[in-house]
Amino acid sequence: MNPESSPFTPGQPVPIEFFVGRVKEIEHLRSMVRASIQGRFKIGYVTGERGIGKSSLVSFVRHLGEREDCIAGVHAFLGGVKNLSDMIRIAYDRLLKESIDKPWYDNVRGFFGDHVRKVGLFGASIELSVTKEDLGVLVNDFVPTLRKLVAHLKDDRKSLLLILDDINGLAESAEFANWLKSTVDQIATENSPLSCCILIVGLEERRQNLIKLQPSLARLFDITEIRPWTDQETAEFYTEAFKRTAALTVDDLALKEMVESTGGLPVFAHEIGDAVWRTAKGVEVTLHEAMKAILDAAEIIGRKFLEPRVFQAIRSKRYRSILRKLAGDQIHNVSFQRAEIRKRLSPEEDKGFGNFLNRMRDLGAIVVDSEAGPGGYRFASRLHLMYFWMESLRASKGGDDT
């Protein structure tokens, strides 16, 4: 099929009409947004593994809120951000930029006053222009500033949804952890309504890290955990996607194989779907085509999401047969017991197993699972597990190696 007409969007946020599942999570987040409309300040943490759909979910909730509940939203991606003043600058800058085509732009523009600068060719875009001193004030006076901003929006919008996404770098910062705590405390003690909902988005490890830095954060956040899709949701995703194009249907067995290889990870669903789209020759995707596409997708996923050294190691001939036995039956289980796996290995494979585990541990693909007792291990993430699994499929098909 022509790659340009693919209904899949690997590496991009999912278009609203293409969003699948997450009904309960959406309801929960919307209830927080609605509470904020009533003047009750809310702060939540949206947690889940890489590629599970955190950013897509909050983006969906934000659009829904803007359309249905008359709120204003801002979605700030803070991937490389390490300190508070950068965070504040980026969040406000995003608010300004994202409001530009919204009816409440004038309110936001008015709020920032002289601090808005035209940039780019012919001044086509705008930017928040603040000095270091201004930023210091914005950090220290975050709550009063937020109150003012919400008051400014109030004519048009009933609440502000502030999404702080990808807080990786910030989760290492005690300054950020303490700031969060004091912000929430300050709002609580002021005892006056504030129509604002803050959603922090990140991995569970990051939340744990923040709690280590500031233990009272443990009880502060309203948590939304995103789990892998069920097989039914994954099947729905593929079926709907193909239906939309009307150009391609999928054989039942092919669909089953695609669903299984997705492991409930939306990020994989788009890669596998896209690979299937490119591979398909006729009007119905055959099992053979699906299998080929899954291996192609494994290749892409390995290169895109894994450390190059993990990618190399997993594909080396030495580990091929061990990999097949380790990942073969493993598909829904991130954890495993060393002794259990050893039972499946030949004496020859068993000899290399210790070495294999050490190598994968050194590379961070597998970690010791202390909760599972002695000999307990787990894959570093579901993404690693699924990649191992797809590579084991390749190994059993006698695919290429390095």
Binding site for Mg ion (CB under 5 A): 54-55
Residue count of the chain, please give it.
402
Q: Taking Cα atoms as reference points, which of 199, 126, 107 lies closest to residue 162? A: 199
The residue (of 161 and 363) whose beta carbon lies closer to Mg ion is 161
Is 206 a binding residue for ligand ADP by CB under 6 A? The answer is no
The residue (of 237 and 389) whose beta carbon lies closer to ligand ADP is 237
Is 21 a binding residue for ligand ADP by CB under 6 A? The answer is yes
Backbone angles phi, psi at 350, to 5 degrees: -60, -35
**Nearest residue (beta carbon) to ligand ADP:** 53
Sequence-separated (6 or more) residues with CB below 8 Å from residue 66? 72, 73, 102
Sequence-separated (6 or more) residues with CB below 8 Å from residue 300? 10, 271, 275
Is 13 a binding residue for ligand ADP by CB under 6 A? The answer is yes
Q: Which residues 334-393 are close enough to bind ligand ADP by CB under 6 A?
A: none
Calpha distance 250→62 (Å, rounded): 33
x/- contact string, 240-279, with ligand ADP (CB under 6 A)? Answer: --------------------------xx--x---------
The residue (of 73 and 266) whose beta carbon lies closer to ligand ADP is 266
Minimum separation from the CB atom of position 218 to ligand ADP (A): 22
Task: Report the sign of the C-alpha dihedral through residues 202, 203, 205, 208, in that order.
Answer: positive
Calpha distance 107→257 (Å, rounded): 52
Q: Are 20 and 229 in contact (CB under 8 A)?
A: yes
Sequence-separated (6 or more) residues with CB below 8 Å from residue 376? 335, 336, 337, 338, 368, 369, 370
Is 200 a binding residue for ligand ADP by CB under 6 A? The answer is no
Minimum separation from the CB atom of position 106 to Mg ion (A): 31
Minimum separation from the CB atom of position 29 to ligand ADP (A): 13
The H or E element containing residue 288 is helix 287-305
* Interaction partner, residue 50 (ligand ADP, Mg ion, none; CB < 5-8 Å by kind): ligand ADP
Is 227 a binding residue for ligand ADP by CB under 6 A? The answer is no
Q: For ligand ADP, which residue of 25, 37, 43, 51 counts as binding (CB under 6 A)? A: 51
The residue (of 36 and 59) whose beta carbon lies closer to ligand ADP is 59
Which DSSP state fits 365? S
The residue (of 48 and 302) whose beta carbon lies closer to ligand ADP is 48
Calpha distance 88→142 (Å, rounded): 9
Minimum separation from the CB atom of position 199 to Mg ion (A): 12
The residue (of 50 and 344) whose beta carbon lies closer to ligand ADP is 50
Place of tokens 């955990």: 225
Minimum separation from the CB atom of position 59 to ligand ADP (A): 7
Tokens of 202: 């990140």
Is 301 a binding residue for ligand ADP by CB under 6 A? The answer is no
The site for ligand ADP, by CB under 6 A, has a size of 23
Is 54 a binding residue for ligand ADP by CB under 6 A? The answer is yes
The residue (of 141 and 204) whose beta carbon lies closer to ligand ADP is 204
Backbone angles phi, psi at 215, to 5 degrees: -55, -30
Secondary structure of 368-382 in HEC code, one letter for each residue: ECHHHCCCEEEECCH
Q: For ligand ADP, which residue of 36, 56, 209, 330 counts as binding (CB under 6 A)? A: 56
Is 42 a binding residue for ligand ADP by CB under 6 A? The answer is no
Q: Which residues does residue 162 pair with via DSSP β-bridges, in sequence order?
A: 74, 198
Calpha distance 148→182 (Å, rounded): 18
DSSP 304-322: HHS-HHHHHHHTSGGGHHH
| Binding span for ligand ADP by CB under 6 A among 45-53, 78-86, 338-346, 394-402 | 45-53
Is 14 a binding residue for ligand ADP by CB under 6 A? The answer is yes
* Interaction partner, residue 22 (ligand ADP, Mg ion, none; CB < 5-8 Å by kind): ligand ADP
Q: Are 197 and 43 in contact (CB under 8 A)?
A: yes
Is 12 a binding residue for ligand ADP by CB under 6 A? The answer is yes
Calpha distance 273→386 (Å, rounded): 15
| Binding span for ligand ADP by CB under 6 A among 30-38, 54-62, 186-194, 253-261 | 54-62
Positions that interact with ligand ADP (CB under 6 A): 9-14, 18-22, 48, 50-56, 237, 266-267, 270
